[in-house]
Amino acid sequence: MKTWLLMSALALAANLAHAQSPGQRLAQTACTQCHSFGKGEPHGVGPNLFGLLGKPAASNAGFTYSKRYLDAMKGKTWDRALLDKWLTDTQAVAPGNTMVYFQDDPKKRAALIEYMQSQK
Ligand code: HEC
């Protein structure tokens, strides 16, 4: 009985430690195979996305962006509106860039943006 209680308490603690927002869950399913989100984490196939909102596009040091991306994003700064467009259709924002992603559910986009805004 005591062992059982201890094990449930441990399981509960583990669940709490891993409690995730809907946006974080989405990011883990759809983004983390290519992107890291934590401070100072290495780039993957795509650049690290820590603290993205408020930064100029294509400004992540040490990541080599595609020419198409650089041309299309020149002078743009990441805000919620731009991120919403990007997640809706990356190829409409920067035609020919190397990230292909379309999310037509505004609630999922909002959840992702919420999560990214929390990573700062
Ligand atoms: C298959 C790999 C892949 C996946 C999956 C992916 N990305 Fe990307 N992402 C990239 C690449 C590569 C680039 C750089 C594009 C270029 O240089 O043409 C990029 C660029 C970006 C940028 C621009 C960053 C900057 O510094 O300007 C954002 C924002 C972004 N991705 C967000 C996301 C989000 C959010 C998801 C999940 C919904 C996601 N990506 C899923 C590969 C991916």
pLDDT in tens, 56-113: 999 999 999 999 999 999 999 999 999 999 999 999 999 999 999 999 999 999 999 9
For residue 19, the one-letter residue type is: A
- Rounded Cα distance between 23 and 93, Å, is 22
Which of 25, 26, 29, 34 is the best mutation target for the ligand 1 pocket, counting ligand atoms within 8 Å of the beta carbon and taking the most? 34
- Ligand 1 contact via 101 beta carbon (within 6 Å): yes
pLDDT at 98: 98
